[in-house]
Amino acid sequence: MNLLLLFDTDFQTATGVRLTGRRLEHVRDIHRLQVGDELRVGLLGGGQGTARLLLLERDALELEVNLNAPSPPKLPLTLILALPRPKVLNRVLASATSLGVARIILVNAWKVEKSYWKSPRMEEANLLHQCILGLEQARDTVLPDLQIRRLLRPFVEEELPALIQGTTPLIAHPGSGIPCPRGMTTPVTLAVGPEGGFLPQEVELFGRAGFQAVELGPRVLRVETALAALVSRID
Amino acid sequence: MNLLLLFDTDFQTATGVRLTGRRLEHVRDIHRLQVGDELRVGLLGGGQGTARLLLLERDALELEVNLNAPSPPKLPLTLILALPRPKVLNRVLASATSLGVARIILVNAWKVEKSYWKSPRMEEANLLHQCILGLEQARDTVLPDLQIRRLLRPFVEEELPALIQGTTPLIAHPGSGIPCPRGMTTPVTLAVGPEGGFLPQEVELFGRAGFQAVELGPRVLRVETALAALVSRID
């Protein structure tokens, strides 16, 4: 946690915050701060700055907050991500958020097992929590726009044409032979498949919607590794 | 597992392989192959190709192997990595291996807790296993050269000057203000710190050895995310 994320509801006065639970424990047990110490804080959806620890008790802490700096800009990047298996989902969401991806759309694909959609990790509270962990990691305060599309074909055929307007649409597909472009200056819409990849028919479906298949090289990477490598290459 | 990695000791004849244990279970339960099916295989330290499943029993499987293709080249990259906490170590090793890092040197740093060095995950069998998982992921057969240096200062002062000969030495340090260079054409030696980063004194120590501090941007990333992003940027 490189930034303690605050919510509007944490404020008791204009600059006074009271925290309990996970954030209290983190400040006390991981940061090991004492009364008088400063730490970096941010307001969800707002600015960031520093806070001074005014009070640290067993059940709560209190902060005096000064928000005077902006958060880092988002990358102009929409990520269309085949739903990863539950064990990987949390890490990928936090990682994509930390990288600054502006919009994440979780979609179905042939190799996404049906059970993934029923995982408790798909509950909204968990999805939000993972994004918040990513913000705290990257010292950001602005959530990505996270959306879910359970059906791939209607999404690609009906929604994507409007979504990709003004962006370069790319689909990561090992074996395409086309290197992923570097240092893009336009916004990008990037589709990333499940473990095992998109089916050829799925790549064609994206292709008909205007997506160019690209790859990082001959190596097949895990989704979380590929995602960071692709975003870094494109950025 | 995108490539089943074989060892010299698996061969019963020049092209005949018998497997038990983890690899048997993977072929049977994850790949769900049947006798007659083909799969992609590679020989540790050697070539790769295909194998046909000749026999599949409860306790063993047998393959007819044909190795006729080379493995992907390694990146000309030496990674000097502050030992991550045990929970992260496995993922980072597999990820760095899958990315094709040629050499990985695990080092100490101020923010590396002493207990990390005593973790069971530091046992040689586990370190090797994580690298093998990375090879299987990336369809590679050549292990990275993995080394361990328990003391940072003598390593940087006495060993690094020779190691970095002919390479561009970079140290990832958020806040340095110097963007990590893109698409390097020279070999690179890249130092990556622990969670919380290297201390300024440690960055200076590397600096005296000739390392340039670079960053990916204003965002602080987890080690595994940063590593993939840095390697992709440099490659």
Q: How do beta strands A168-172 and A188-192 pair?
A: parallel
Q: How many CB pairs under 8 A join A and B?
A: 95
Please report the pLDDT score of residue A10 as a whole number: 96
Dist CA B229 CA A230 (whole Å): 8
Number of domains comprising chain B: 2
Q: Do both A216 and A108 map to the same domain?
A: yes
Which structure tokens are listed for A61? 């802490």
pLDDT 10s digits, A79-120 = 999 999 999 999 999 999 999 999 999 999 999 999 999 999
CB crowding A39-66: b at 16 or more within 10 Å, else e: bebbbbeeebbebbbeebeeeebbbebe
DSSP A121: G
Instruction: Give me the mean pLDDT over the B59-79 stretch.
Output: 95
Dist CA A217 CA B159 (whole Å): 32
Q: Do A139 and B98 touch (CB under 8 A)?
A: no
Instruction: Check if the beta carbon of residue B84 is closer than 8 Å to that of residue B92.
Output: yes
CB crowding B83-119: b at 16 or more within 10 Å, else e: bbbbebbbbbbbbbbbbbbebbbbbbbeebeeebeee
> Exposed/middle/buried for B81, CB within 10 Å: 0-12, 13-18, 19+?
buried
Reported pTM: 0.93
Q: Which residue of A has its CA nearest to B133?
A: A222
Query: Does A218 have pLDDT greater than 90?
Result: no
Out of B217, B225, B235, closest to residue A228 by CB: B225
Q: Do both B135 and B156 map to the same domain?
A: yes
End position of a domain, from candidates A42, A69, A96: A69
Instruction: Check if the beta carbon of residue B135 is closer than 8 Å to that of residue B99.
Output: no
Collapse the DSSP code of B142 into the 3-class scheme (helix H, G, I; strand E, B; otherwise coil) and give the result.
coil
The ipTM, to two decimals, is 0.92
pLDDT 10s digits, A29-80 = 988 999 999 999 999 999 999 999 999 999 999 999 999 999 999 999 999 9
Dist CA A155 CA A108 (whole Å): 10
Within 8 A of A182 by CB-CB distance, chain B residues are 182-183
Q: Do both B133 and B228 map to the same domain?
A: yes
Torsion of CA B148, B150, B156, B158, to 10 degrees: -90
B118: nearest Cα among B153, B145, B83, B82: B83
Out of A100, A140, A219, closest to residue B99 by CB: A219
Q: Do both A20 and A44 map to the same domain?
A: yes
Domain containing B25 equals 4-69
pLDDT 10s digits, A180-193 = 999 899 999 999 99
End position of a domain, from candidates B32, B49, B69: B69
Q: Do both B30 and B123 map to the same domain?
A: no
DSSP B72: P
> Cα(first)–Cα(last) distance of chain A, in Å?
24
Position of tokens 């992003």? B229
End position of a domain, from candidates B48, B69, B90: B69
Residue B223's identity, in one-letter code, is: V
Cα B65 to Cα B19, B23, B41, B71, B130: the distances in Å are 12, 15, 8, 16, 24
Which structure tokens are listed for B116? 């990390």
Q: What percent of chain A has pLDDT over 70?
A: 100
Q: Do both B52 and B109 map to the same domain?
A: no
Distance of CA A156 to the CA centre of its chain: 21
Q: Do both B14 and B51 map to the same domain?
A: yes
Instruction: Give me the mean pLDDT over the B88-103 stretch.
Output: 97
CATH of the domain at A169: 3.40.1280.10
Grade residue B175 by pLDDT with cuts at 50, 70 and 90: confident
Q: Do both B173 and B91 map to the same domain?
A: yes
Q: Do both B17 and B122 map to the same domain?
A: no
Out of B100, B221, B233, closest to residue A98 by CB: B221
Q: Do both A42 and A89 map to the same domain?
A: no
Torsion of CA A108, A113, A118, A121, to 10 degrees: -80
pLDDT 10s digits, A148-169 = 999 999 999 999 999 999 999 9
Report which secondary-structure segment, H or E, holds B63. Answer: strand B61-69
Q: Do both A203 and A93 map to the same domain?
A: yes
Q: What percent of chain B has pLDDT over 90?
A: 93
Selected for mutation to probe chain B from A113, A222, A230, A231 (highest B CB count within 10 Å) is A222
DSSP A144: -
CATH of the domain at B24: 2.40.240.20
Q: Do both A41 and A94 map to the same domain?
A: no
CB crowding A124-135: b at 16 or more within 10 Å, else e: eebbebbbbbbb
